[in-house]
Amino acid sequence: MAGVALPLRAPLSAARAAALLLLVATAGGPDVLRAQVTDASRIATFERFRAALDAGRLPEAEVHAQALVTETEAQYGREGRELVNPLSNLGTVAFRRGDYPAAEAAYQRALVLIEGRIPGADRMLIRPLVGLGETLLVTDRPAEAAIALKRALDLSRNLDGLFNVEQLDIIDPLIEAYAALDRLEDAEKEHQYAFRVAESSFGRSDLRMLDPLDRLARWYEFVGRYTTARGLHARALQLADNASGSGSVEGVPGLRGLARTYYLEAVYGPEEAETATGDPFSTGPGNMFVPPPAQEGRLNPDGERALRIALEALTGATPVDRRARGETLIELADWYLIAGATARAQAAYREGWMDLTTAGAGAVDVLRVPRRLAYRAPPTSIARLRPEDPENFEERLVELRFTVDVDGKVTDITTASSEVAPGLERSVQFALRRARYAPRLEDGTPVETRDVTLRERLLVRTPTEQRE
């Protein structure tokens, strides 16, 4: 078989590519291919890999990615730098298939091939570092992920400038890692930096700013700065109206964001430092609005109005984006649920479910379990407590089980396990009672769900005798 000419330049099916790998394995390894492989043949293999990946044919893409690694090894040896991108391709496919150990192995091998081989910053490190960081993040290792991603980000800024737009793809998972580690100040710093990069690259009035505005606004929602978030959503809506006309679908994310800030504010109370912010519903000079003092538990009707305007825009579009319309209807149903309008909530859930079932496989999966709409962790939560002497605190876990009824109310709270004193345990229970959930849906109908779980991490001061 060693003398068989391999048709490397001809298009390969997944089966033929697999046969190539079997041939190499049974005929003495990569040496068999050395005389056959050329740069042109490897480019052809890469193009087949890329086409399969772009089309979502992941098993076929994986075969071509492995074939490209094998061909590159045959041409340049197992230690060649030329293997870095093929190995990164292989890691990408494994990641998308959910084979995280294989993805991690591919990225780690790529890094070993180039680590410290040349002086100074090595651009080839960026891609496998990002892939490794994202793999570590999805496998619940945020501390390791943050190290890899921060290193990739520093390389990007050193090599391509402090405001290069390519770094945005690195910043997003790094922010996620920081948030998972409760390093909220670091996460906010990167959010603001990413926004400055986008604004510097695209300009303030470019529609490409809609996504950065939404991302930054959602961050401020997450940390409880609802007025600040609302100002950013209002700016996004104004940008969409100026660029595409009032009532355009481009303004839908901003409208949905405005509604979300209102219901979060109703649940938790207003942001402490209120500031003037743009309000799309204001008719005053300069479209500026200083919101009145919020009354906790009462919904601002402008939130419902925003969702109604969003639905009008989506319904009037051609073609209708059923997924976006269904998601907006579900948000409107959540709004009614929080407002206590149960019948209207159920009607909107049914209509939203119908739209989402026509939007494609998996569109309703997120609705098959209860969804937490709002929850404010207790003061001693690792998400809120920021002690000046963190070395004198240790993390303890409380796990609660409860029922989410058809109205989204939390009932039947029990403690599954606790590592804290009864008083702290009760603080977690109190926080959970104030949480707002959306009920699980079955064929669009809300149903009760038992044995829902909440795991809360608390910071507890280490006993004095253990510190000495």
Please tell me what DSSP assigns to residue 245: -
In a domain, 407, yes or no: yes
pLDDT score for 113: 94
CA-closest candidate to residue 74, choices 121, 135, 21, 142: 21
In a domain, 461, yes or no: yes
Residue 245 lies in a domain: no
Residue 434 placed within a domain:
yes
DSSP for 263-310, please give it.
Answer: HHHHHH---SS---EE-TT--SGGGEE-PPPP-TT---HHHHHHHHHH
Rg over alpha carbons for the chain, rounded to the nearest Å, is: 26
Cα 189 to Cα 282: distance, rounded to the nearest angstrom: 31
Which contacts qualify for 427-433: CB closer than 8 Å, 24 or more apart? 427/378, 427/379, 427/380, 428/378, 428/398, 428/400, 428/454, 428/456, 428/458, 429/400, 430/378, 431/375, 431/376, 431/377, 431/378, 431/381, 431/456, 432/375, 432/400, 432/402
**Cα–Cα separations (whole angstroms), residue 92 to 95, 100, 102, 148:** 5, 10, 10, 16
324-328: long-range pairs with CB below 8 Å, 24+:
324/249, 324/252, 325/352, 325/355, 326/352, 326/353, 326/354, 326/355, 326/356, 326/359, 326/363, 327/352, 327/356, 328/252, 328/256, 328/352
Domain membership flag for residue 194: no
Q: Is the pTM of this model over 0.75?
A: yes
Q: Examine residue 395 and state whether it is found in any structural domain, yes or no.
A: yes
Give residue 2's pLDDT: 34
Asked whether residue 421 is assigned to any structural domain, the reply reads yes
Each residue's pLDDT expressed in tens, for the chain with a length of 468 residues: 333 333 333 334 444 444 444 444 444 455 555 557 788 888 999 999 999 999 999 999 999 999 999 999 998 999 999 999 999 999 999 999 999 999 999 999 999 999 877 777 789 999 999 999 999 999 999 999 999 999 999 999 999 999 999 999 999 999 999 998 888 899 999 999 999 999 999 999 999 999 999 999 999 998 889 999 999 999 999 999 999 999 999 999 999 999 999 988 887 777 654 443 444 333 333 333 334 444 445 789 999 999 999 999 999 999 999 999 999 999 999 999 988 899 999 999 999 999 999 988 789 999 999 999 888 889 999 888 888 888 899 999 999 999 999 999 999 999 999 999 999 999 999 999 988 899 999 999 999 999 999 999 999 998 866 655
3-state secondary structure 81-146: HHHHHHHHHHHHHHHHHCCHHHHHHHHHHHHHHHCCCCCCCCHHHHHHHHHHHHHHHHCCCHHHHH
| 3-state class (DSSP) for residue 180 | helix
Q: Is the dihedral of CA 13, 17, 20, 26 positive or negative?
A: negative
Distance CA 431, CA 427 (A): 6
Per-residue model confidence (pLDDT) at position 116? 77
Residue 315 has a pLDDT of 95
Query: What per-residue confidence (pLDDT) applies to 297?
Result: 54
Contacts of 192 (CB under 8 A, 6+ apart): 216
Rounded (to 5) percent helix, strand, coil in the chain: 60, 10, 30
Per-residue confidence (pLDDT) for residue 252, from 0 to 100: 96
Q: How far apart are CA 177 and CA 146, in angstroms?
A: 6
Inter-residue contact 135 to 108 (CB < 8 Å) = no
Exposed e or buried b for every residue in 304-324, given b needs 16+ CB within 10 A?
bbbbebbbebbeeeeeebbeb
Q: Quick check: is 418 in a domain? A: yes
The residue type at 182: D
Q: Which of 432, 402, 401, 398 is nearest to 418 (CA)?
A: 398
Look up the CATH number of the domain holding residue 376.
Answer: 3.30.2420.10
Looking at the structure of the chain, the number of domains it has is 1
Domain that holds residue 428: 372-467
